[in-house]
């Protein structure tokens, strides 16, 4: 390479560096502007989402815990939400079109969405396996937000999950307040009312559920030890062909619980024509399900759908038949 070529090459490198610095400075000023509009909790949540190293995430969690520890336990529901910058903890017939489908059956459904698996730094889905990557929390509005570089929904879910982890007293007070409020509202509208607390988690809410014996709760779970109650309906969830899970699928069937399977849309009709299947897409009101042991849910696209299929979480016709033969064998 002659002297002129070397100079030319260095010139290109210098230009690229200048361009990269400009991009970095634009990025940091965008982030600065976002931060200015957020309260301290949301700022921490954004920092947590952007942190790459586990140690950074851990430090942020400790700061969140410290801040939450300082909240007075007697704070009213309204003041708690305003302190956290949230509009609600759980919401009725929310963004999830699945919960909204209950309206056709005159049901109003209160749903709670947390940050699933270990996304908050604490695992709220102890029995999650192959479902983690294609988890439905990354579908719908969250997927759209993520693609457009936003994080409003993920930030709110993080805050709620941290509240549950670090201040269960305040969390339970707030969720009970909302259950009472929404049950009253549904009654006023002449609608039936139900609650799903694990829309994107798999936690034990039995204390809250037991305190509302007149209200119908339901969940999908992968926890083989979760107990149903008179007012708590459980559907067991398929995860994968992992050997250790086989006794749990068998146990669910023996208990009379249905097992829910996510299947690829193209094979939906054929799968539903198989014996003992029932469709679970027309509503999310699982406690109203009729006959059949194997609930069929058409998969929603998430950022990791293909991985879900590869890992055996999402099934096509042949793999569904294989799963049933395995469970019944």
Q: Which chain residues interact with ligand SF4 by CB under 6 A? A: 116-117, 125, 128, 131-132, 135-137, 200-202, 222
Min. distance of Cβ 127 from ligand SF4 in angstroms?
A: 7
User: Which is nearer to ligand SF4, 201 or 257 (by Cβ)?
Assistant: 201
User: Which is nearer to ligand SF4, 92 or 128 (by Cβ)?
Assistant: 128
Min. distance of Cβ 180 from ligand SF4 in angstroms?
A: 26
User: Which is nearer to ligand SF4, 136 or 234 (by Cβ)?
Assistant: 136
Min. distance of Cβ 305 from ligand SF4 in angstroms?
A: 13
User: Which is nearer to ligand SF4, 163 or 183 (by Cβ)?
Assistant: 163
User: Which is nearer to ligand SF4, 80 or 234 (by Cβ)?
Assistant: 234
User: Which is nearer to ligand SF4, 202 or 284 (by Cβ)?
Assistant: 202
Please, what's the largest Cα pairwise distance for the chain?
Answer: 85
Min. distance of Cβ 223 from ligand SF4 in angstroms?
A: 9
Min. distance of Cβ 117 from ligand SF4 in angstroms?
A: 4
Q: What angle do CA 57, 62, 67 make, to 5 degrees?
A: 125
- Residue identified by tokens 């997927």 is 143
Min. distance of Cβ 37 from ligand SF4 in angstroms?
A: 29
What does the block give as tokens for 60?
A: 């942020």
């Amino acid at each position: 390479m002659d002297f002129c070529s070397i100079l030319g090459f260095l010139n290109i490198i210098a230009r690229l560096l200048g361009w990269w610095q400009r991009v970095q400075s634009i990025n940091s000023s965008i982030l600065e502007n976002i931060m200015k509009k957020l309260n301290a909790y949301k700022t921490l949540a954004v920092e947590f989402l952007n942190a790459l190293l586990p140690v950074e995430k851990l430090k942020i969690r400790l700061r969140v815990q410290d801040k939450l520890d300082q909240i007075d336990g007697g704070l009213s529901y309204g003041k708690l939400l305003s302190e956290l910058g949230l509009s609600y903890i759980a919401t009725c017939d929310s963004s999830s079109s699945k919960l909204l489908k209950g309206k056709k059956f005159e049901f109003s459904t209160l749903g709670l969405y947390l940050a699933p698996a270990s996304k908050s730094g604490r695992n709220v889905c102890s029995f999650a396996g192959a479902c983690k990557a294609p988890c439905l929390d990354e579908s719908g509005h969250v997927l759209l937000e993520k693609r457009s570089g936003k994080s409003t929904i993920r930030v709110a879910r993080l805050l709620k999950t941290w509240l549950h982890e670090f201040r269960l007293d305040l969390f339970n007070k707030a969720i009970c307040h909302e259950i009472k409020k929404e049950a009253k509202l549904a009654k006023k509208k002449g609608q039936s009312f139900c609650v799903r607390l694990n829309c994107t988690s798999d936690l034990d809410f039995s204390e809250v559920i037991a305190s509302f014996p007149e209200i119908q709760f339901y969940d999908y779970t992968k926890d083989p030890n979760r107990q149903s109650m008179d007012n708590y309906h459980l559907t067991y969830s398929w995860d994968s062909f992992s050997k250790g899970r086989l006794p749990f699928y068998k146990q669910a069937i023996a208990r009379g619980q249905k097992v829910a399977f996510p299947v690829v849309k193209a094979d939906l009709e054929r799968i539903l024509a198989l014996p003992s299947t029932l469709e679970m897409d027309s509503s999310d009101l699982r406690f109203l399900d009729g006959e059949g042991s194997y609930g069929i849910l058409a998969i929603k696209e998430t950022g990791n759908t293909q991985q879900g299929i590869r890992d055996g979480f999402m099934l096509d016709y042949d793999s569904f038949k294989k799963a049933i033969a395995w469970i019944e064998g």
